[in-house]
């Protein structure tokens, strides 16, 4: 399988490359946020197609925040769905998701075959929904609201849904793989464990050779 692995930033890309044999997959940082992830992933897919070397699958990999008691620090997470949690409309009665507005869907399902392969290779990984947010959570109130709205969510990032849309629109299997660097809730940088999460990402990347 010719695999494209996209990350938000170069530090994540380097962590993934450190776990992969040379030449096994193309790994690229495409930028922070869903818009950058969608545009960067789509560009790489189009260039590969034009060069007659198309990719056969896409994985978004990176570090993320984990919901307390669902995905602890250092855990590896596999998304069953990548959900654009803030894509919709505000209203006096609360947030209205894109799906309820009738303008498309904010949910990107992971490819079941690709997800199954990753689950087999990473039997200790936590599976569940991974939220994509333009503004990551920084308060206990927002964390609690997200837990209520998305009871199957285990983590949040900023790129999954964007990369997923690029892959799915190109007709390619997609999956999202995250390692947990911090707990979702009040912003406390002193409690973040980014080096540990990057090291976990390197270990998880070895599964991409399976």
Give the pLDDT confidence score for residue 21 in this predicted structure.
Answer: 80
Q: Which residue has the higher pLDDT, 161 or 93?
A: 161
Which residues constitute the domain of residue 97? 3-208
% pLDDT > 90, the chain? 86
b (16+ CB within 10 A) / e for 10-37: eebbebbbebbeeebbebbbbbebbebb
Distance in angstroms (rounded) separating the CA atoms of residues 174 and 189: 31
pTM beyond 0.85, yes or no: yes
Q: What is the mean pLDDT of residues 105-112?
A: 97
CATH code for position 141 = 3.40.50.1580
Name the one residue in this structure whose structure tokens are 């010719």: 2
Residue of higher predicted confidence among 10 and 96: 10
Cβ-based neighbour number of residue 147 at 10 Å: 15
* Percent of the chain topping pLDDT 70: 99
Alpha-carbon distance 12 to 123, whole Å?
22
The whole-number pLDDT of residue 209 equals: 72
Buried/exposed 99-136: b ≥16 CB within 10 Å, e otherwise: eeeeeeebbbebbeebbebbeeebeebbbbbbbbbeeb
- How high does pLDDT run on average in the chain? 94
Give the pair of three-digit tokens for residue 34: 């869903």
Q: How confident is the model at residue 22 (pLDDT cuts 50, 70, 90)?
A: confident
Q: Which residues contact 71 (CB under 8 A, 6 or more apart)?
A: 77, 126, 128, 154, 155, 180
Q: 3-state secondary structure string, 4-16?
A: EEEECCHHHHHHH
Residue tagged 């894109």 (tokens): 98
How far apart are alpha carbons 181 and 25 in whole angstroms?
A: 24
pLDDT of residue 1: 66
By residue count, the chain amounts to: 210
Number of domains in the chain: 1
Q: For 36-57, what is the mean pLDDT?
A: 97
* CA distance linking residue 74 with residue 58, whole number of Å: 23
pLDDT of residue 134: 94
Q: At residue 27, what are phi and psi to the nearest 5 degrees?
A: -120, 130
pLDDT of residue 210 exceeding 80:
no
């Amino acid at each position: 399988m010719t695999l494209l692995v996209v990350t938000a930033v170069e530090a994540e890309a380097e962590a993934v490359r450190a776990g992969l044999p040379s030449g096994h997959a193309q790994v690229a940082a495409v930028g922070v946020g869903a818009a950058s992830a969608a545009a960067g992933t789509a560009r790489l897919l189009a260039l590969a197609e034009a060069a007659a070397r198309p990719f056969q699958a896409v994985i978004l990999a990176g570090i993320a925040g984990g919901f307390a008691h669902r995905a602890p620090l250092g855990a590896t997470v596999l998304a069953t769905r990548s959900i654009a949690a803030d894509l919709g409309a505000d209203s006096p009665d609360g947030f209205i998701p894109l799906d309820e507005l009738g303008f498309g869907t904010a949910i990107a399902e992971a490819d079941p075959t690709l997800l199954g392969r990753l689950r087999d290779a990473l039997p200790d990984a936590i599976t569940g929904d991974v939220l994509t947010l333009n503004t990551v959570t920084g308060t206990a109130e927002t964390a609690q609201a997200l837990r209520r709205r998305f009871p199957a969510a285990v983590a949040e990032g900023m790129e999954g849904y964007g990369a997923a849309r690029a892959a799915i629109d190109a007709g390619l299997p997609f999956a999202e793989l995250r390692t947990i660097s911090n707990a979702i809730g009040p912003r406390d940088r002193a409690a973040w464990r980014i080096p540990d999460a990057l090291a976990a990402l390197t270990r998880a990347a070895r599964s991409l050779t399976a």
